[in-house]
Structure 1
Amino acid sequence: MRTAVVVGTGLIGTSAALALTARGITVHLEDADPDAARTAASLGAGITDEIEQPVDLAIVAVPPALVGRVLADCQRRGLARCYTDVASVKSGPRAEVAELGCDTTSYIGGHPMAGREQSGPLAARADLFEGRPWVLTPTADTSTETLNAALELVALCGAMPVVMDAVAHDRAVALVSHAPQLVSSLVAARLENADETAVRLAGQGVRDVTRIAASDPRMWVDILSANAAVVADVLEELAVDLNTAVGSLRSLAADGAQDRQKGTAGIEAVMRRGNQGQARIPGKHGAPPTRYETVVVAIGDQPGELGRLFKEAARAGVNVEDVAIDHSAGRRIGLVQLSVEPTAVHQLVTVLTERGWDVRD
């Protein structure tokens, strides 16, 4: 691949353009909003010059409901030899592409499983897709050339290709992406009119659960509209479990020992199911999940402290697998939670303590 065009310079499109440009690809940028394309170009994502001859690959980076029409227009103009999209839903766009009579031999659906709470070109990052799955949904008549072009795109962006059927993809993302987004928003909505004292007690748990609730509602309406029935099915199943959990909690609050025993069993059952489901989420580099142990260190809220802590861990020969920070509401300190291999805990604690760090039990 030497040339490409990105049609739609939002977060995903601009991030792909930045990744390709960094690898020496000449990337043309188009957007219905010329200011967005110019913004992406100013970030180094590519150029807004008119395309004089077909490029190697066109990346349609628009909402699912627009994929068919935009692809048809791109093919009518002869923009590229091969085409793909990055929409988060695949079945609807595929059907529309067929209805509009697009050339499906030169088109393959795609969906990089990456994103951020922010949207637009200014939120884009060249490394957004590194190590992330990138789903490809070829049709029966997708040409080998088109598949190879899409695979090269995935490789250039540092992602991992996953070939799936479009319908299976939509069911999968409903479960692991779309329904969790709504659940996060529903939990965060409980905080909207909550007492200020309650909100000030918020810790890392509620921050983790509500992080993606900061996402752009308009963008998510577009996504959910294209996969509404499947997401509704997932939430309906969740509602059954939620009602069961409510019933168990009511039993726990009852006076009778038998009711409390029933409630305890119900809550424990759902928690254990949660344990089992969470344990199935792939771990580092897609490997089976690993149980790490956490070392908690208090650090001052000042420049360079976190960097110094990581350097100390490196000197101790310990690899930090994950990190989280719980900020104190009343003091200028943070509790840094370093996730490390169980065998490394003693070494890390010993070194940090010797060097004067405030390691917490």
Structure 2
Amino acid sequence: MTVSMQIPGGAALPAWLPKNARLYLRHIEEGLSLRAIARDEGCHASTIMRKVRAFENRRDDPLVDEALTRLGRLVFGSGATVVQTQSQTEEGACPMTAPIRHASPKIVDQATLEREARRILRRLCEFGAVLAVAGELDKAAVLKGTVRTAVVDREVAEAFALKDWIAVKSVGRVTTYQITQAGRAALKRLLAEEQAARNAGLGDAANPFADQHRDVEDHELTDDQTGQPRRVRINLSESPLAILARRKDKDGRPFLSPDLVAAGERLREDFELAQIGPRVAQNWDRFLTAGDRGSFGSADALGGSSRARDRVAAALRDLGPGLGDVVLRCCCFLEGLEAVEKRMGWSARSGKIVLRIALQRLKRHYEETYGCQSPLIG
């Protein structure tokens, strides 16, 4: 004789669940046709079919498969029947039979997911760190070599996999996962939101979704007037040149043409090559308006690539004061145009015009010196 136990259902799909996963569950677990879902979504049935198939292929991932099974059981009641023998119900579990592991009747809420993401994803960003998930264990562990650095509930790890924050690295008795680019971006966004909550009412409003694409770093420069060091925060993922290149003039054309942007990036590439060594941006302060535009000194003292340093020196000498300053600050130091205008004593919104003139002159310098082809690096 057998007794059936029905796990309670009726839960709602969590707000954090990706849209494609919702579509997949509605089709597979709820039993709606692709055309019915397409009518609800206002798109073609073939679009829904591609999304459903794409998520079906992800079920090779053990955590994704478990997460979808868990949601199907709790929300739609699918596969929720657990069978026990009469002897097990009357006398307890059979000593010769291992207990059957079932997904726990719990769905991770948004607050828990975000809190655990800030803790676990930060650990996974460390070099060599992986998330290990083993067989019937209800916990997953972050390992760095043989050292366990964090532990997280299995259902939280499943949510990470559903949101594509982690991806399978190796499969076996113990499946390991590593953080993805989407996971790194999500961590940046969550940390920015946390910082914005702490600094509520102080300074400018934060934009966490923009912060997730930024790679902010503090650089130390020397002030031209006081000679004292000052710290500047820059976004390594995007230069002021790239931001200005997206703007349009009154005729609808890009304010900076692609060849001008390429000239500025070429200067920045040489600048970065020349910074290989213990000393960084301070090496170039002598080329600013308030400094001496003389020789660089020995390569051993300054470090970096001597050829790249010579190319930057030649370009700045050709541009001269003013034009050389603006390209150095905007293209190499990644300072914003407003900061450059203030430091140079220029009127507002004049910096972009000077920068375009400087880039035109820089482009001509490269063409006259090296021809149409970029010089080989190294």
Considering Cα pairs closer than 8 Å and 6+ residues apart, tell me whether 1 or 2 has the greater RCO.
Answer: 1
Q: Give the greater-gyration-radius structure (CA).
A: 2
Task: Bin the TM-score by the shorter chain.
Answer: under 0.3
TM-score (norm 1): 0.26
TM-score (norm 2): 0.25
